[in-house]
Amino acid sequence: MNKIILENDEVVAQLDESVVYELSYSDLLGVNLLKIEVFNDTSMDLVYNFGSDVKLEVQIHVNSGVHLNLYEKVVGDKAKVRTKYYLLDDSDVVVSKFDDVRVVNEYVVIMLLGMRAKIKYNLKTVALDVLNYDILTYHNASDTVSNIINNGVCIKDGRIKFNVSSFVPSGSKNCDVSQSNKIVNLTDNECVIKPNLYIDEFDVSASHSAWIGSVNEDSLFYLMSRGIDRDSATRLLVKGFLTGSLDIDDDKKDDIIRRIDDYWR
């Protein structure tokens, strides 16, 4: 298992020959730049711990024919992150991402540069304050696939904005484009989902969905009929919502569940 842990501007890395990285700093822009290149099939943990107001750009380059299973976790008080994924021919990337940050401004760019490049991007987040996400996917080659899944839960003073855009230019044929966006809002605060599809090619399969609401009342009623109080039942449903579809092991799911429990203390 490869692992990179970034705490503000310091890196702790445990890597084999499949992955190399470089960290640099721009005095002019005040931005840390983390470049990662993946050469062979591998799994990797990428953990950011923001103890202060750090601006970070991450570039992840996935070479041709490489399968990458990536777990990203962002924790801390405030995060400004720009992440760029570059996928070459026949690369296959699965991103399972969990955010535990009070304030987030995140900008994600996914570049499907090679034929048959494929990504599944699965984001889970809990909002105690303001979380803004802009996620853009570019199908710059034919036979490419993107499956963008964003799930968030709002509690206390939480607000979430998902601005999700997928682009298919003319000539990128036989692409499969999918967006699924869902926010469980346990507050009276306003949340926003903006799903956008910009398709300039006929030979494309494209879909998007957007849903904002509370927990499922039927599921809540079922749990309460088994003697579980409403607050505990809500917490169980939130845990399932935020862990159920992630491609991660049980230890990582247990870590997310512990963090969710902390929100209700």
Q: What is the pLDDT of residue 10?
A: 78
Alpha helices in the chain (DSSP H): 217-225, 230-243, 250-263
pLDDT above 80 for 83: yes
Could you give phi then psi for residue 15, rounded to 5 degrees? -130, 145
Q: What is the pLDDT of residue 26?
A: 66
3-class secondary-structure state, position 141: coil
User: Alpha-carbon distance 22 to 108, whole Å?
Assistant: 19
Q: What is the pLDDT of residue 91?
A: 98
Tokens 């090619």: give the residue.
201
Confidence of residue 264 (pLDDT cuts 50, 70, 90): confident
User: Alpha-carbon distance 204 to 202, whole Å?
Assistant: 6
pLDDT in tens, 122-168: 999 999 999 999 999 999 999 999 999 999 999 989 999 999 999 99
Task: Look at 109 and 1; give whichever has higher pLDDT.
Answer: 109
CB distance 48 to 38 below 8 Å: no
Q: What is the DSSP string of 65-96?
A: T-EEEEEEEEEEEEEEEEEEEEE-TT-EEEEE
User: Alpha-carbon distance 8 to 130, whole Å?
Assistant: 21
Dihedral-angle region of residue 52 (phi above 0 means left; psi in -120 to 50 means alpha; beta otherwise):
beta
pLDDT in tens, 2-54: 999 988 667 889 999 999 999 887 655 567 889 999 999 999 999 988 876 67
CB distance 69 to 43 below 8 Å: yes
Residues 6+ apart with CB under 8 A from 16: 2, 42
Confidence of residue 232 (pLDDT cuts 50, 70, 90): confident
Tokens for 167?
A: 């682009």
Could you give phi then psi for residue 232, rounded to 5 degrees? -65, -40
**Which DSSP category does 200 fall into?**
-
For the chain, how many helices (H) and strands (E)? 3, 15
Per-residue CA distances from 259 to 136, 148, 149, 235, 252 (Å): 28, 24, 21, 12, 11
pLDDT in tens, 189-209: 999 999 999 999 999 999 999
